[in-house]
Structure 1
């Protein structure tokens, strides 16, 4: 099972995956039997938020794989989300801090290929775009794939260059704080927080500003500790600068107290959760107050799920946002950032074309966008493409290729047989009149040796005994004939017996 996350637009068990369908599809009575393993791509909540519930409440006890950085960051992110559950007063589906700790003890950390999504994010190669400021570009091998499963978050979007997007963001922030306004940047605590903190830190240094910059969560401070420890997972530029200055030491960034919300003067605040969830959270609380002033700015740093306040703001600045028990008057400026680590439509198409799989499955996107991208993949690249709904099965025919090596002696013997065959064809040695049953194709004969946890190889027949560490035994046999014959026939019988004697190796 790839990932085990939550849908952030819902709360309670409705936000979790429909785990019961796993048992219904497999016919198993428990999840440990139904699933071979769980593989986590990265530490965002839509990938790990349901993991403690799955292990501690659903009873999954099989292996869970993730990278070392993801295992380090996951407990903090899950604990932060658990506090959101408490604030939102989930009636069901809540897990405790102890559940998180027990869950993480079951995780098996791996060292896999890094991508640009967030520290520790990986691409997964299963057998059966722009680089971030602090992470290097994804390294992708050219593989012969039967199936590629890829995200489609921005299936219709084409973004400007990173430099242009950074410049636009800095100009919006500069204009707001220069006019005495406050900037609210709702985001999740890991990944984009470090990215934008680095960008604004450099800008503050160049401008020599003393305008306060805040985070409302100690989580970013904690995660920065792991970013410093796991500097080897970052880009080469960050590794080089680390010798002189730790790029994750943000001296301009301070902790934000609730009492600061009504303070006069400009400031910048990074607040969780991202998307400004309708269910509450600090970014929601601050937005209700700061949205009333035309001087203030809300900067949305990435994708916002449908039904969230962020999504409503991105769909066109509304004058009022209705909630269950009240409404929010929106007078502030709204700026949409294209800083999501998800690639755009060009990046998705380039990846599919580069890997050239036989089939493509689209996930992590909205249905209309996936339908649009499916049509492009099939018409432009000529590849079968699918975007299955929950509980919809897709059957993919796969090719089974098995790599084997050959011993030097086997290869030499094959070359020798080929040379002999060529000589026979040119009638330079006897036996040239013997017809080859396979025509011009010459079949090589050997023994295929397959050992557990070792590469398979082909070897010559007489090499097998040596490889297996055994002795070669020879059996001598004689035909025994019991008969009454005349004395004159004894000599003939002895000659017959002599011809029948032989040595047969085994």
Structure 2
């Protein structure tokens, strides 16, 4: 069974108790025109956007959930506050600057974001710690809980009077997560009015591969989890098949995962005292020349949605060979030549 979903431009406007809450403000990586950003004219065509929003919440740092922040704040003109966790606020500017460089310096697009716009936008972001109750106004309060999707990803409990809802990033992943069923317990305990969670891409493929495996990942989050899993598996099985990851954002991501190790799972935190689990011995930097190498290998490449960049280049080269595999899950990445 195969299920393919179109991921991007996550932006939900929810009205509760007379309050308008925007949940995430993402972009669609598959477009290069106005379609890449949410159409805010659905909210208002004449008046200032700020007047129609009581709160903006960002669940995590992936561009399909935060990539339109600059457009909304610096071009559309939203000047209200934006709430997210401390790691998300720290990592968001890195992804936004990388996206800006690709769009302006490589693609040559004019009248786009500037580095100053990123700094101005980030000044509007209020960092939130876990279990901290923030009173947005006299009636509206928010509280963040650990989600585990990626570093700093959070569930937000939003309460207006006697009404409330829980919004979360996509559900937790096994390695970086400290919890797996907290959201269901939370819903039962607080009796929230609504539970909101975005869906993400999941593509299932055949069970065996005797050639290279292209693993589609986001540079931050999924790549780190898969690297940890494969490191342990390669050690246990004494495998010699090479593992590579593309350079760039992944290196920066490792720095932030080390910096915010307390936001990872209990196992990683306990192991960190003896060994940094983000220092990989089996996983090496990928060179584009390796695309021509014969035999099995596992390659982590971005972007995860296969719309451009290195992942698309590798896919075009390997797709015509029956023995090769494209993977978007941990299990598929582990099924290689034995």
Could you say which TM-score interval applies, normalised by the shorter chain? Answer: 0.7 to 0.9
Q: Point out the more displaced range, 201-210 or 43-52.
A: 201-210
Structure 2 residue matching 1:270: 3-state secondary structure: strand
Match of 2:113 in 1: 95
Alignment CA distance shift 1:75-1:11 (3 Å): same
Choose from 57, 74, 84 the match for 1:66: 84
Match of 2:8 in 1: none
Match of 1:46 in 2: 64
2:152 corresponds to 1:110: no
Contact residue 215 and residue 333 of structure 2 kept, 8 A? no
Alignment CA distance shift 1:203-1:256 (3 Å): same
Match of 1:490 in 2: none
2:92 & 2:172 partners in 1: Cα distance?
25
2:236 & 2:42 partners in 1: Cα distance?
55
Choose from 176, 185, 190 the match for 1:143: 190
Alignment CA distance shift 1:81-1:134 (3 Å): same
Structure 2 residue matching 1:214: 3-state secondary structure: strand
Match of 1:353 in 2: none
2:68 & 2:108 partners in 1: Cα distance?
14
Contact residue 149 and residue 172 of structure 2 kept, 8 A? no
CA RMSD of aligned residues (A): 3.0
Rg bigger for which structure? 1
Deviation at 1:32, TM superposition (A): 2.5
Alignment CA distance shift 1:53-1:193 (3 Å): same
Q: Which has the higher strand share?
A: 2
Match of 1:354 in 2: none
Match of 2:317 in 1: 289
1:61 & 1:152 partners in 2: Cα distance?
26
2:39 corresponds to 1:18: yes
Match of 2:134 in 1: none
Deviation at 1:198, TM superposition (A): 0.9
Alignment CA distance shift 1:336-1:269 (3 Å): closer
1:84 & 1:233 partners in 2: Cα distance?
30
1:275 & 1:193 partners in 2: Cα distance?
14
Structure 2 residue matching 1:124: 3-state secondary structure: strand
Match of 1:120 in 2: 152
Alignment CA distance shift 1:269-1:103 (3 Å): same
Alignment CA distance shift 1:46-1:148 (3 Å): same
Deviation track 1:336-373 (CA, whole Å, cap 9, x = no partner) reads 99xxxxxxxxxxxxxxxxxxxxxxxxxxxxxxxxxxxx
Match of 2:4 in 1: none
Contact residue 116 and residue 137 of structure 1 kept, 8 A? yes
Match of 1:245 in 2: 275
5 Å matches for 1:28-427?
Answer: 29-86=47-104, 89=107, 94-112=112-130, 113-128=145-160, 132-137=174-179, 139-140=182-183, 141=186, 142-145=189-192, 147-151=193-197, 153=199, 176=209, 179=210, 181-277=211-307, 280-301=308-329
2:75 & 2:246 partners in 1: Cα distance?
31
Q: Could you tell me the TM-score, scaled by structure 1's length?
A: 0.51
Contact residue 185 and residue 271 of structure 1 kept, 8 A? yes
Contact residue 61 and residue 88 of structure 2 kept, 8 A? yes
Alignment CA distance shift 1:245-1:47 (3 Å): same
1:127 & 1:230 partners in 2: Cα distance?
28
Deviation track 1:74-125 (CA, whole Å, cap 9, x = no partner) reads 1222233334435884867842333223322321111021112111111111
1:152 & 1:198 partners in 2: Cα distance?
25
1:217 & 1:254 partners in 2: Cα distance?
9
Q: Could you tell me the TM-score, scaled by structure 2's length?
A: 0.74
Structure 2 residue matching 1:125: 3-state secondary structure: strand
Deviation at 1:135, TM superposition (A): 1.5
- Give 5+ residue unaligned stretches, structure 1: 158-164, 303-334, 338-506
Higher relative contact order (CA 8 A, sep 6+): 2
2:118 & 2:276 partners in 1: Cα distance?
31
Match of 1:3 in 2: 24
